[in-house]
Amino acid sequence: MKRLETIVKSDKLSQVVNAIRSAGAKGVTVTSIKGQGSGERPMLRSGRGTAQIRAEYNMMDSIMTVVDDSEVSNVVSAISQAAYTGKSGDGIIIVTDVDQVVNIASKKTDSSAL
Ligand X SMILES: Nc1ncnc2c1ncn2[C@@H]1O[C@H](COP(=O)(O)OP(=O)(O)O)[C@@H](O)[C@H]1O
Alpha-carbon distance of 104 to 74, in angstroms, equals: 27
86 conformational bin, left if phi > 0, alpha if psi -120 to 50, beta if neither = left
Q: Is 49 in the site for ligand X (CB under 6 A)?
A: no
Q: Is 91 in the site for ligand X (CB under 6 A)?
A: yes
Alpha-carbon distance of 113 to 38, in angstroms, equals: 37
Single residue of 13, 16, 60, 67 touching ligand X by CB under 6 A: 60
Closest separation in Å from C-beta 107 to ligand X:
34
Q: Is 31 in the site for ligand X (CB under 6 A)?
A: no
- Residues at the contact surface with ligand X, assessed by CB under 6 A: 7, 35-39, 58, 60, 88-92
